[in-house]
Amino acid sequence: MKYEATRIFRTSVNENVNENYDADKDFIVSYVDAYIVEAVLDYFGMDDPLSSPTRHCPPSQPQTKDEKQSWAMMEFCEIVKTYVWAKDEKTSLCQESVVECM
């Protein structure tokens, strides 16, 4: 987190979380939100939030609500495994063994 604060020239982030908590919390929430969006976009092969997925597309056939929820849970579990629990950078960013969307 300190690296990201330095990288974007955010010098007001204090290492002591007890000082200036609200401003630091806002930075951390903003950083985590941006990381989540980027992870989801990368996982689904999307250029921006308004584009269509090019990988890991939802099934094209009509499904029940339970099937849709099951698909979404499975995909988001994979996102967490890939981007959050990955042990090294190669695992987290280079898994390309996926079926491309039409």
Residue-range domain boundaries for the chain: 2-93
What predicted TM-score, i.e. pTM, was given to this entire model? 0.64
Q: What phi and psi values does residue 91 have, to the nearest 5 degrees? A: -70, -40
Structure tokens of 86? 């990955």
Over residues 14-67, the pLDDT tens digits come to 666 566 667 677 778 888 899 999 999 999 999 999 999 999 998 888 889 999
For residues 51 and 46, give the distance between their C-alpha atoms in angstroms, rounded to a whole number: 6
**Contact between 60 and 95 (Cβ < 8 Å):** no
